[in-house]
A and B are shown apart, each in its own frame.
Chain A
Amino acid sequence: MLVTFLIGAISLGTVLLYGCMGETLMEKSGHLNLGIPGIMCMGTAGGCLGIELYLKGLADPAAANWFLLILLSILFSILFSVSAGLIYGFLTVTLRCNQNITGLAITTFGSGLAQFVMDTYVTRKGFGAAGKLISRGFVNDPNANGVLRVFFSHGFFVYFAIILAVIFTFVLNRTRVGLHLRSVGENPATADADGVNVTAYKYGSILIGSAVAGFGGLFYIMDYLKGSWENASTIEAFGWLAIALVIFALWKPNYSIFGSILFGGLSIAAFVLKGSSTQKELLKLLPYIITVLVLVFTSIRKKRENQPPASLGLSYFREDR
């Protein structure tokens, strides 16, 4: 029971972790992207389309190559989510549109387009087998040791997410690129005066962040649900939760690993615990309540390191003084 719960928490947490890492990266460059839910939907649609195209050329879906399956899904997912990110970046960085409005538009657009692609072009023939392949872990025996199963029964995307979070933490805190990226989000005028290419860093973080966020939706469909699909709104809901997780994790990718497992656990607690449907619905609210509490506590403590980047949400224009 506990083992199943933990596996589920880590697994669902990974959906949130991808979204959270993508958003964190963008927020570090000063861009509050409320388009994350839409970008996650786009990544899903792209990834599924990639798998569909690959499976179509095969006689037997069960004979699919694990490596090619992962590679194609990732490439197509990136193609879709990055193009959504590019729209967002062009609007907010180059045209300096309002970030909130642009983000919301991207969310509406992304989930709509994902729904359209999934309903029209993706038949999901053989997706069950592909899902099984993608979610295959090191330990697949349900009777194996519980500790082993918690840590090693996951598919590729779970470990990939954790590795990415570690890399992001290192890059942000220990490298010149990270220093420059943080300076862009804190005070772009200063960064600009010191010779940092503000526009390049903003675009870079938005595009990479979009690609990473897109994996979240792909993982949810292909790994967590093993290839089944209802509609885009489920993924959209996880997108909002991922944005809340950014605040919960205090804009730190390493914190977000643990935050995502906690949020994942709280999201599935409703299905594991016994109780009335009202109680279960209330339980689903917990991640948001915790996020509000974190905001309250960090605001009271006022530690500058735990605050969002200083110029988050503000457009930068060199000639504004």
Chain B
Amino acid sequence: MAKEVLIEFQNITKTFGAVVANNNVSMQIFQGEILSVLGENGCGKTTLMNMLAGIYYPDGGKILIRGKEAHIHSPKTAFSYRIGMIHQHFKLIDVFTAAENVVLGVKNGSKYNLKDVKKRIGEMCDRYGFHINPDKKIYEMSVSEKQTVEIIKVLYRGADILILDEPTAVLTPQEISKLFDVLRAMRNDGKSIIIITHKLNEVMEISDRVAVLRKGEHIGTVKTSETSEQALTEMMVGKKITLNIDRTKVENPADRLFVNGLNYTNSEHVKVLDNISFVARSGEILGIAGIAGSGQRELLEAIAGLQPLDSGEIIFHRPKKDLPVSFYHKTLKQVIELAAEGKFHYADGTPVDLSGKSKKEIRRLVNEEKILFNEDEIMNLRDKTPLQIRELGVRLSFVPEDRLGMGLVGNMDIIDNMMLRSYRKGNSILLNRKKPENLADQIVKGLEVVTPDLHTPVRRLSGGNVQKVLVGREISMAPKVLMAAYPVRGLDINSSYLIYNLLNKQKEEGVAVIFVGEDLDVLMGLCDRILVINSGRVTGIVDARTVTKEEVGLLMTKTDAGKEKRDEKENG
């Protein structure tokens, strides 16, 4: 079947700062086909398509449409080339009806008449097999209906080339099969459809051809009928690259954090965490691998006390060890009460008796770290706020994905950001600025943070330096559990290695490190074990030293449907 070449990318290159999103990509899209663009997170597949949709403009190379060079500067220009993109986050106005959303911004000279619009929507529905009520308000719609409105919106503007960015991510299996029927009907009508995805089974089911991208480069385009999931996975993840990360042996691992059967369903009735269980051990880095949005964020936030859960337990286990009471942020009153219960002792083991001592004297004993105690060894952290967790004496550090949103306050300087963790310490009504200042100084010197001075707002620092400040602060807490979500995202190579080394050092000091990453090479080079999470479920916990990239890739991408097919193949 000789098909006409509709779009041709010629040596397309796009960079964001130092990051190369697309490097010298050349590929073709035919008329009347469904093309899947497949790749891991951050491989540049969405960036490439955004250039076709007019969101970005390529730094180098050419886009040819029907053989002629096209300059697509805006979504509007893209529409003039009959290209429409349906983004992952819908751009719809909630209080408008479907019809109002469809007609928004369309200036075709005709009179504004919603009746005509509704009629045309009805015609499109009949032609491609959609179902939509044009008078329904968007806020009353399900995700699948909203997606339908987006597709109609693009078709109404006369698009012949539809780009769908991960269209199935939010749909149920029934909705996916309905969507696929619609897409097939559109293809048979002569439209070209591009689906950006990382779900292998869907690629096999729907597409005519598959273009695979890896780290910004076009690896190859193959006919779906001539390939297999196995072959695609290999193209997607590539050969293993050995990174020069100094991974030490795990010494004296002890079970530190037990996570048992975590379940969480969000407000859109999507099961974000589905029966997640694992154990994080001290002196070990546990990697978490998975496609973005598989529940990694919710999992870490649940452990950190920021995410309510439907069910499950998070048990922290601490070896018995004497700790100074000043560590636990207790008020004087609490200290006196606990002392009366006989919970404290001195370094030589004799119990503490505070009765008859003046407040000043007690405060002195606390501040000089004379009073020691150890609390219960096993604590359930579920449904505890971060503050409660801290008051329990659980040293849990969290380096969140959103550095300047959740981790640091952008407009405050390094010292003030240090105080976010320590402002409750001390008994004076005035803040103690000396200690945080010393700490900030140590971090800046120790981690080579590039900053004019300690009083520069952290948002003015570069991404790598912001991350150093955040990781430095979290590590300075001498944590027992350190969780880091995508700690090297957006960082250059040197900063990345500095962060890897810091994590490794924590591991050597006996910290249970949980590392959420996106680069499989890094996960396999840095971690000791890798937990693979897929749509909120744990699909495997593997030994990072022996596992292959393909195995992890398959665990990340396989769905139940795919698994059944493979099982059938193996059995038959």
Contacts and interface: CB of A to CB of B under 8 A. Distances in A.
B112 A179 contact: yes
Contacts of A191: 93, 104-105
Nearest to A195: B105
B96 A196 contact: no
Given A186-B95, A304-B137, A305-B95, 16 more contacts: A175-B112, A176-B107, A179-B104, A179-B112, A182-B93, A183-B93, A183-B104, A186-B94, A189-B91, A190-B104, A191-B104, A193-B91, A195-B105, A304-B139, A307-B95, A310-B94
Contacts of B76: 195
Interface string B62-98: 0000000000000110000000000000011111100
Contacts of A186: 93-96
A175 B111 CA distance: 9
Interface string A161-177: 00000000000001110
B interface bracket (residues with beta carbon within 8 Å of A): 10 to 19
Interface of B: 75-76, 91-96, 100, 103-107, 112, 137, 139
A195 B103 CA distance: 11
A187 B93 contact: yes
A194 B105 contact: yes
Given A176-B112, A304-B139, A194 B94 contact: no
Interface of A: 174-176, 179-180, 182-183, 186-187, 189-191, 193-196, 304-305, 307, 310
A182 B112 contact: no
B137 A179 contact: no
A196 B92 CA distance: 14
A179 B97 CA distance: 11
A187 B94 CA distance: 9
- Judged by DSSP, the binding face of B is loop
Contacts of A305: 95
Nearest to B54: A193
A180 B105 contact: yes
Contacts of A194: 91, 104-106
Contacts of A183: 93, 96, 104-105
Nearest to A177: B112
Contacts of B105: 180, 183, 191, 194-196
Most buried by A among B75, B95, B100, B137: B95
A189 B106 CA distance: 16
Contacts of A195: 75-76, 105-107
Contacts of B137: 304
26 contacts: A179-B100, A179-B112, A180-B104, A180-B105, A183-B93, A183-B96, A183-B104, A183-B105, A186-B96, A187-B91, A187-B92, A187-B93, A190-B92, A190-B93, A190-B104, A191-B93, A191-B105, A193-B75, A193-B91, A194-B104, A194-B106, A195-B76, A196-B104, A196-B105, A304-B94, A307-B95
A194 B104 CA distance: 7
